[in-house]
Structure formats: C-alpha cells, structure tokens
C-alpha cells in the first residue's frame, strides 16, 4: 500500500509540474472528446482528418498501441495490437489478432437529447491472457453508446451508458451486456472517470460476483497530449487476482490535414 501511495504521489507531482498546459482530452478546457470511459466506449469522436495514438503500459511488462483516424464527420476507425513481456527480459507473448474499432455517431448531443453512437470494438481491457485466448475484460463487440454532459458547480459532468454484444466469451456464454459510467472534470486539465460493466456475459466460475468497476485519472499535459492512470477491478470481482491492477497510458492527437 505504501508503494502504491508513493507511486500516486510521484505521478501527481509530475503532472502538476507539466500542467501549466494546453488542452488534451481532460478537464473543462479539453480540446478533444473522450472516446473511452476507461475501456468501454463513449460517443466521443475525433475531428475530421485527425489521428490519435495511445500507448498503454500494462502489468507483466505488457504494452499495446492503438492508432485511430477520423476520415469523415462523426466516424472513426482504429486498430490496436500488443502483448505481454514486451518490456523486461521475458519472452513477449502477443495477442492473437489486432483489435479493431469502427464507430459512427448518428445523433449529436442537444440540450434535451443525448448523443448516440453505434460501433464495433474487438480490443478488450487489460492484459491479453494467451492461455485462455482472451483479455482480462472482454471487448465490447457490437455496441450502442449514449452520452450526455452537464455543467454544474463542480465543473463538467458527463454520463455514459451503453449495451453491447461481445464475441469474446465461449458461444454458450454469449449474451447482451450493459455498462455505464461518468466523467467529472477537476479544474481545467484533469478528469476522473469511472465505469461499471455488469459482466452478464462473463463465466461465473471466474468471478467473486458480477459487476466490475474500473477508474481512470486523466491529465491534459501539452496540446493534444493526455496522460492517464487506470485502476482496474475496484469491486474485486475477479477470482484469484492479487489486488487492484494499475495501468498507465499516453494519448496523443494530431491534425493530419
């Protein structure tokens, strides 16, 4: 626990030093929309002809990179690939297939209406488990996402929810699933995100209980760059897992016009 607190303190000190900053994807001065709550989709999009790259640093020397691009208004595509043991001296074990994403927002947010998007995402959350041919958290598969934002005394608060159907579980376990979450700005350049997956399509033998919560603390550091730390499985839903899992990532956006 002491090491964890020191890690958090050093991370926050670094961010505070950098955050005299320009907008990325976090805070009330965010220049770009949030496309994932933590690992589950929102309606967020890139501006037309903008590209983004995300480098995720995972436990066990894991690393995966995701590149996305918006060729048209309210539409983006992405591809992700990575594995375990990339950092360190162990033999790398890569995920079997690249993860792909395609998302289209067919209704923009209005004063009295949420934004709605549909899409497909095959990149799951956390490390890829080669022995089980799956990610720690199933990918969403086909999804419908809904988001609505509000301004209140504490800043900007966005609510996200959705339903999805993943092809990651064994065929006998596949079923519709649902998720929800929120993003709360903390000043101009910081945001706290929390998501909750009902895990209706997960194998009950692997769970202490259904329902998994993940959180992310995100910081805009320079123009178009966002740093984040994810804390996974706050509800201790997964059996035989040794405490919370911590993950860091860098998210950068570039105008490709």
Q: Give per-residue pLDDT as tens, 145-197.
A: 999 999 999 999 999 999 999 999 989 889 999 999 999 999 999 999 999 99
Burial (0-12, 13-18, 19+ Cβ within 10 Å), 26: buried
All structural domains of the chain with their residue ranges: 2-255
With 0.85 as the threshold, say if the pTM is over it: yes
Q: Is the pLDDT reported for residue 204 higher than 90?
A: no
Lowest mean pLDDT, pick from 113-117, 133-137, 175-179: 133-137
Domain 2-255 of CATH type 2.40.160.40: yes
């Amino acid at each position: 626990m002491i090491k964890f607190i020191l890690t958090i303190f050093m991370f926050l000190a670094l961010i505070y030093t950098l955050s005299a900053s320009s907008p990325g994807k976090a805070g009330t001065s965010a220049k770009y929309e949030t496309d994932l709550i933590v690992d589950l989709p929102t309606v967020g999009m890139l501006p037309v002809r903008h590209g983004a790259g995300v480098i995720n640093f995972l436990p066990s020397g894991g690393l995966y990179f995701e590149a996305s691009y918006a060729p048209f208004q309210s539409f983006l595509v992405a591809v992700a690939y990575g594995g375990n043991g990339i950092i360190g001296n162990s033999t790398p074990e890569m995920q079997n297939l690249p993860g792909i994403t395609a998302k289209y927002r067919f209704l923009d947010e209005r004063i009295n209406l949420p934004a709605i998007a549909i899409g497909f995402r095959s990149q799951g959350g956390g490390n890829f488990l080669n022995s089980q041919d799956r990610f720690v958290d199933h990918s969403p598969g086909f999804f419908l996402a809904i988001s609505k934002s509000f301004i209140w005394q504490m800043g900007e608060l966005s609510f996200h929810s959705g339903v999805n159907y993943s092809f990651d579980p064994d065929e006998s376990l596949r079923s519709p699933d649902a998720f929800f979450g929120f993003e709360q700005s903390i000043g101009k350049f910081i945001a706290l995100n929390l998501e909750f997956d009902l895990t209706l399509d997960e194998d009950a033998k692997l769970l202490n209980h259904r329902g998994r919560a993940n959180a992310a603390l995100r910081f805009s550091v320079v123009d178009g760059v966002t740093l984040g730390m994810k804390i996974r499985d706050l509800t201790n839903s997964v059996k035989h897992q040794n405490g919370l899992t911590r993950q860091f990532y860098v998210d950068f956006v570039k105008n490709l016009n």
